Amino acid sequence: MSERLKIVIADESPFFRSIEKQFLQNSPAEILEVTDSDQLLTLLREETPSLIYLSCSLLPLDGVDCCLAIKADEKLADIPVVLVCDQNQKEQEERCERSPCDAVLVKPLDRHQFLQVGRCFLSAIREHRQSCLIQVSVTINGEEIKGKGLDISSGGMFVDSPFNVTAGEMAEVAFKLPGPNPLPVECKGLVTWINRRPNLLKPHYPTGFGVKFVGLSDHLSRMLGRLADKS
């Protein structure tokens, strides 16, 4: 049996720990919370988390110094560390950028950006998905495939289509966001998984494939995220 995934939230603020924990509520990982750097370093001697969200305002060691300590320890150095700095603290952000951390976020936190950064290191972090029924055009190697988008998030969608495609293929994806004033969307996509008989990965889904959006603008990503939030 594989060991359960663990994500550490290290923040002195109960408010921000609550927000980050809520962001991760759909993740299959166990969420571990600590309130200071001593607790974090003690925890890391006992646990092996898959990801750490680390506040720069932590005490007695601040987040940057704590990150330096983690990355200097060969037993811990491979754990991804996302430093979370405070808005309007330019010096703090610059220290983060110079540190050996794996990514930087700035408070106030945007849920979609928070999850998107986390997925760079831990694919199990999930985004809310919204059921829908929209017409989708997927063009692969110059061939246009028509299908129906059955669910959508800021990260991608499932396309109901009988056409044979191959996981790993890049595509041009075009559709309109559902709503009273449908907004045309065109972006690149990566075919990440196939649902086809006799080996249906998701038996309750029809024949089709999953597409991960690539290079989506922050504006469109937030719009899709807000749409998914309505589920």
Same-domain check for residues 15 and 115:
yes
pLDDT per position as a tens digit, 178-196:
777 778 888 899 998 898 8
- The DSSP bridge partners found for residue 199 are 196
Same-domain check for residues 207 and 135:
yes
**Per-residue pLDDT, 99:** 93
Same-domain check for residues 23 and 113:
yes
Q: Does this model's pTM top 0.85?
A: no
Instruction: Return d(Cα 139, Cα 209) in angstroms, integer.
Output: 13
- Token pair for 23: 């962001």
Q: Which pLDDT band, with edges at 50, 70 and 90, does 110 fall under?
A: confident
Same-domain check for residues 108 and 155:
no
Same-domain check for residues 202 and 183:
yes
- Token pair for 85: 């700095």
CATH number of the domain enclosing 190: 2.40.10.220
- Token pair for 87: 């808005």
Domain that holds residue 150: 130-229
Same-domain check for residues 110 and 10:
yes
Ranges assigned E (strand) in the chain: 6-10, 30-34, 51-55, 81-85, 103-106, 130-140, 143-152, 156-160, 170-177, 183-195, 208-214
Same-domain check for residues 36 and 103:
yes
**Per-residue pLDDT, 50:** 92
Q: Which pLDDT band, with edges at 50, 70 and 90, does 143 fall under?
A: very high
179: left (phi over 0), alpha (psi -120 to 50) or beta: left
Same-domain check for residues 104 and 152:
no
Q: How many domains, in total, are found in the chain?
A: 2
Task: Using the 3D structure, point to which of 85, 119, 153 is the last residue of a domain.
Answer: 119
Same-domain check for residues 149 and 65:
no
- The DSSP bridge partners found for residue 28 are none
CA distances from 170 to 161, 190, 201, 218 (A): 16, 5, 21, 20
